[in-house]
Amino acid sequence: MQRHRAGIVSRFLADAIDLLVIIGVLVGVYFAVAAARFLLHPRRFTWPEPSGLNLAAFGWILLFAYLAIGWSNTGRTLGKSVLGLRVVSHSGDPLAFPRAMVRSFLCVAVPIGLFWCVVSSRNASIADLIVRSSVVYDWERRLPAAES
């Protein structure tokens, strides 16, 4: 299975783990803001009440950055790493940062595009087709190439 294209189940599970990571970060940021407010004004402390729109926007931006950085660095996010998956370009290398950003934007803006890999003969999502990438099984650990 090494270097074969990943199917919908493993990709969906990896994405679910990534979503849980982002939700965990959002909860952590919420409690950090609450702690800072408490330390600054303990007698007038109230819990932060972010609007749904602000929370969604911050989560969207955080997810976008998390995916783009992970895919351009090692080709993995935490979810992909747990399931032994890697996002690679058509040549098998990690995505360049601009392509990783486009792929990340497409995945966050149109998450339903993942399900295109169910009908695709090469297990490609809509984002994969647009940026010419693939998600493959890859259990080897690789660090990003050192810049000289």
111-134 per-position pLDDT tens digit: 999 999 899 888 899 999 999 999
Quick one: the chain helix, strand, coil %, rounded to 5? 60, 5, 35
Q: For residue range 7-59, what is the model confidence (pLDDT) as tens digits?
A: 899 999 999 999 999 999 999 999 999 999 999 999 999 999 999 999 999 99
Res. 141 pLDDT band, cuts 50 70 90: low
The pLDDT, as a whole number, for residue 142 is: 61
Handedness of CA 125, 127, 131, 137 (dihedral sign): negative
Comparison of pLDDT for 143 and 53, the residue scoring more: 53
Angstrom distance (rounded) from CA 62 to CA 65: 5
The pLDDT, as a whole number, for residue 146 is: 64
Whether 143 shows a pLDDT value over 80: the answer reads no
